[in-house]
Amino acid sequence: MYKARYYKADGKKGRARALPESLFDGVVNETVMHRVVTAYLANQRQGTAAAKNRSAVAGGARKPWRQKGTGRARQGTIRAPHWEGGGVAFPPIPHSWRQRVPRKVRALARRSAFNDRAERDRVVLVDLPELETPRTRALVEYLRAVEADGKVLILTDGQKENVYLSARNLPHVTVLPFGTESVYDVLWAQTVLIERSALEEAARSRDETAETAEVEERTDEAAGDAEAAAPAATETEGEDDA
């Protein structure tokens, strides 16, 4: 079980807290993380790059000079790629770079990213200060108090507009609601600050989902056993009547 440093809203350090095993299970699959990050970066591409080939460039419909007798190399059009103002050979064509990754693979990559940061003691649980108005200086002082080094990812409990606005002009700080972060966001950050209430709520929800799935599985198994037992009972009654 991983443990993480914990800081209160005033920046004072509390006792280390255990991270929930439902989210931090210790599995770090680098292959899956690489696949998901590659797909994420590919999906950021607009795919709008374009250029004209020789058939799309206006002009050049006639032969610039006759085939023989001029002493020059034969040419068929002034819009060939080697001519100035000509088309582009093998030009980029607008298309989608979209890559789809299965949901379970994305979930495994997300857990792997969190486990990787937890192993390196880069996950910190915090109670964020209540900011009545956006104040970048107050947020910077808090990050300095919790010893958040390098690039920082702050995962809040729901939307917190004042925290987001306070960090908006800090180039190495990103603020996102917990659960909306990508694998790239987690691996980009050297320090991941998670609001304690958000992590507790996510762990509670995950446990309830697991319990519900287990109950449904048991119910399905019981129903299957009952269906299997019904024909056997019918056959026994038929033999007794005979």
Phi, psi for 53 (deg, rounded to 5)? -90, -175
In Å, what is the CA distance from 187 to each residue of 41, 115, 122, 232?
13, 11, 11, 57
DSSP-derived pairing of the beta strands 3-7 and 123-126: parallel
Phi, psi for 202 (deg, rounded to 5)? -65, -40
Residuewise pLDDT in 10s, the chain (242 residues): 789 999 999 989 999 999 988 889 899 999 999 999 999 999 999 999 999 999 999 999 999 999 999 999 999 999 999 999 999 999 999 999 999 999 999 999 999 999 999 999 999 999 999 889 999 999 999 999 999 989 999 999 989 999 999 999 999 999 999 999 999 999 999 999 999 999 988 888 876 776 676 666 777 676 666 676 666 555 666 656 65
Q: List all residues 6 or more positions away from 57 whose beta carbon is below 8 Å from its beta carbon.
A: 79, 85, 86, 87
- Angle of helix 103-119 relative to helix 30-43, nearest 10 degrees, comes to 120
3-state secondary structure 145-180: HCCCCCCEEEEECCCCHHHHHHHCCCCCEEEEECCC
Q: Give domain limits for the chain.
A: 3-45+103-200, 48-96
pTM score: 0.78
Architecture of domain 3-45+103-200: 3-Layer(aba) Sandwich (3.40)
- Matching residue, tokens 């914990």: 6
- Three-state DSSP class for residue 23: coil
